[in-house]
Chain A
């Protein structure tokens, strides 16, 4: 068990809502426990003084990589739709929104 509880069961629930991954009651319990252990391990970084350090977003420092505004042929409709589990009249079928 973690010495400090960094994540509560309710937080795990909220994270699963944010990430749109449904968790069973058992998963919530196990995940909360594992999350706390892993986060405790992550806290090792607290030891490092980074007060004057810039973050590294890219290891290769590139800027202004662009493409020209020239059209290329798109995928044919049937190719675009080929991998969809549900489709109708050329549209993808998604769940209802309200």
Chain B
């Protein structure tokens, strides 16, 4: 038998249900692993020592320790969004995804580090310090769900939840060599997910292999009466989609995802994956998405506009950091609270979003971006009439060095070029490891039509079973 920490989520639950391992063994193993490596990685913002004594029901995730990104509400556990403005905030309620994990017997092992309010692609924008890439401690783990991906890669959790607004699950999954899923918009309840850009984001699983991702997604998905934008999928049984068979499936390869700025070694790794799938019977064809070059500006305008409104509630009155002083007038107190509580990138996005929505600029920026969004979505709708999946790199480059891009906001925005179109279109996508460049993982991105997660999983599973990258373990 594999060592306990090497068991996948699926295998671990099986072992726990059979009684081959006990909850105590699992909890001890993971907590000591965190003690051993997290001082180097800083994947966690809070560890739930109490999970030893929490009772759990015998479900699909029986006693499996799952890490939760710190922007997903956990009753009784801090939820800071890696921001100073939410320091000490403990939600009185569970996000629907967390409640569903608990209902299936899962244990919440802790809260993971991230870019402040999910704004970033490197986890360097955390008010509590960056997370380090387990494959190379000088590099970023990607972001914004960097802690969730690093924790899974480094065996500090068997699986985790991240949130993906413009690539925040897939980017760190690619950079850390794990599997990450951005579900179809509406498939997973956002209730309890601290909003950054409501119309774009979804909570998604980060796991060691495709089967675990399918399992965890089947637990958290489905309509939630607390989220008006959530819906039930045709079937929640994603495990049964896992067959090693892509015969007759058609893949589109969008040229724009391999354009200027893409590291040729990354492109090469992705092409090798495409060829491998072809050798198993998948057909492919290159396609062009005319509006794809406009994804980044459209995405950032929409995200920042929504964010500027979402983040207005942090004024220090009901929760979080407050600069309140008796006798001081409210505008002063609110402005000071927010000046001291938010980091630079968050402030920048709030100001830009405020601008894009303000009188006289709304049509030119926000409305324009929403119209471009229609065109981009149209490109995808069109492609999925012809193709079952689209294949592309998740990230145009492997993990970069800590500090390399943080001073230049635009340079940081550019790395999201291959992930944001998916959020604009609302379609599902998965990132699976497909190679290495300079010892750093590369991710293959598989996209499918809305609510066609089963097709996405089938291709991802086939690729994974025919390759071995997911079996590689970071040196830490």
Q: Are A96 and B319 in contact (CB under 8 A)?
A: no
**Residue numbers in B under 8 Å from A27 (CB-CB):** 347
Q: Are A82 and B90 in contact (CB under 8 A)?
A: yes
Q: Are A21 and B330 in contact (CB under 8 A)?
A: no
Least Cβ distance of A23 to chain B in Å? Answer: 7
Q: Are B319 and A53 in contact (CB under 8 A)?
A: no
> Is A73 an interface residue when CB atoms closer than 8 A count as contact?
no
Which listed residue (A42, A48, A59, A83) contacts B375, Cβ 8 A?
A: A48
- CA gap between A88 and B373 in the complex, in Å: 48
> Is B410 an interface residue when CB atoms closer than 8 A count as contact?
yes
- CA gap between A27 and B409 in the complex, in Å: 14
Q: Are B373 and A79 in contact (CB under 8 A)?
A: no
Q: Are A83 and B324 in contact (CB under 8 A)?
A: no
Chain B CB within 10 Å — which of A23, A65, A80, A85 has the most?
Answer: A85
Chain A residues 63-98 with CB under 8 Å of chain B are 65, 67, 75, 79-80, 82-86, 92-98
**Residue numbers in A under 8 Å from B228 (CB-CB):** 62, 65
> Is B372 an interface residue when CB atoms closer than 8 A count as contact?
yes
> Is B462 an interface residue when CB atoms closer than 8 A count as contact?
no
> Is A20 an interface residue when CB atoms closer than 8 A count as contact?
yes
Number of interface residues of A (CB under 8 A): 54
Chain B residues 183-204 with CB under 8 Å of chain A are 184-186, 199
Q: Are B365 and A60 in contact (CB under 8 A)?
A: no
**Residue numbers in A under 8 Å from B370 (CB-CB):** 55-57
- CA gap between A97 and B186 in the complex, in Å: 40
Chain A CB within 10 Å — which of B294, B351, B356 has the most?
Answer: B351
Q: Are A50 and B350 in contact (CB under 8 A)?
A: no
Least Cβ distance of A84 to chain B in Å? Answer: 6
Known contacts A50-B375, A62-B229: A86-B351 contact under CB 8 Å: no
Known contacts A21-B335, A95-B329: A55-B371 contact under CB 8 Å: yes
**Residue numbers in B under 8 Å from A35 (CB-CB):** 348, 351-352, 355
> Is A1 an interface residue when CB atoms closer than 8 A count as contact?
no
**Residue numbers in B under 8 Å from A12 (CB-CB):** 351
Q: Are A48 and B331 in contact (CB under 8 A)?
A: no
Known contacts A18-B354, A45-B298: A60-B229 contact under CB 8 Å: yes
> Is A4 an interface residue when CB atoms closer than 8 A count as contact?
no
Known contacts A15-B351, A23-B339, A96-B327: A50-B426 contact under CB 8 Å: no
Q: Are B329 and A98 in contact (CB under 8 A)?
A: yes
Q: Are B89 and A41 in contact (CB under 8 A)?
A: no
Q: Are A58 and B229 in contact (CB under 8 A)?
A: yes
Known contacts A35-B351, A45-B297: A85-B371 contact under CB 8 Å: no
- CA gap between A57 and B92 in the complex, in Å: 31
Q: Are A56 and B374 in contact (CB under 8 A)?
A: yes
Q: Are A96 and B330 in contact (CB under 8 A)?
A: yes
Least Cβ distance of B49 to chain A in Å? Answer: 21
Least Cβ distance of B436 to chain A in Å? Answer: 32
- CA gap between A53 and B317 in the complex, in Å: 42
> Is B416 an interface residue when CB atoms closer than 8 A count as contact?
no
Chain A residues 14-63 with CB under 8 Å of chain B are 15-23, 27, 31, 34-35, 37-39, 41-48, 50, 53-60, 62
Chain B CB within 10 Å — which of A27, A55, A57, A75 has the most?
Answer: A55
- CA gap between A59 and B327 in the complex, in Å: 47
Chain B CB within 10 Å — which of A7, A18, A20, A67 has the most?
Answer: A20
- CA gap between A57 and B436 in the complex, in Å: 39
Least Cβ distance of B195 to chain A in Å? Answer: 15
**Residue numbers in B under 8 Å from A18 (CB-CB):** 354, 358
Q: Are A31 and B185 in contact (CB under 8 A)?
A: no
> Is B238 an interface residue when CB atoms closer than 8 A count as contact?
no
- CA gap between A59 and B348 in the complex, in Å: 27
- CA gap between A25 and B296 in the complex, in Å: 30
Which listed residue (B88, B301, B338, B351) contacts A31, Cβ 8 A?
A: B351
**Residue numbers in A under 8 Å from B367 (CB-CB):** 55
Least Cβ distance of A41 to chain B in Å? Answer: 6
Known contacts A55-B370, A60-B426: A20-B335 contact under CB 8 Å: yes
**Residue numbers in A under 8 Å from B298 (CB-CB):** 45
Known contacts A55-B371, A57-B199, A86-B322: A34-B409 contact under CB 8 Å: yes
Given contacts A55-B370, A95-B332, 9 further A-B contacts (CB under 8 A): A11-B355, A15-B351, A35-B348, A35-B352, A43-B297, A50-B372, A93-B317, A96-B327, A98-B329
Can you list 13 A-B pairs with a CB-CB distance of less than 8 A?
A: A11-B355, A19-B338, A20-B335, A21-B338, A21-B350, A44-B293, A44-B297, A60-B229, A80-B92, A82-B92, A85-B320, A93-B324, A97-B330
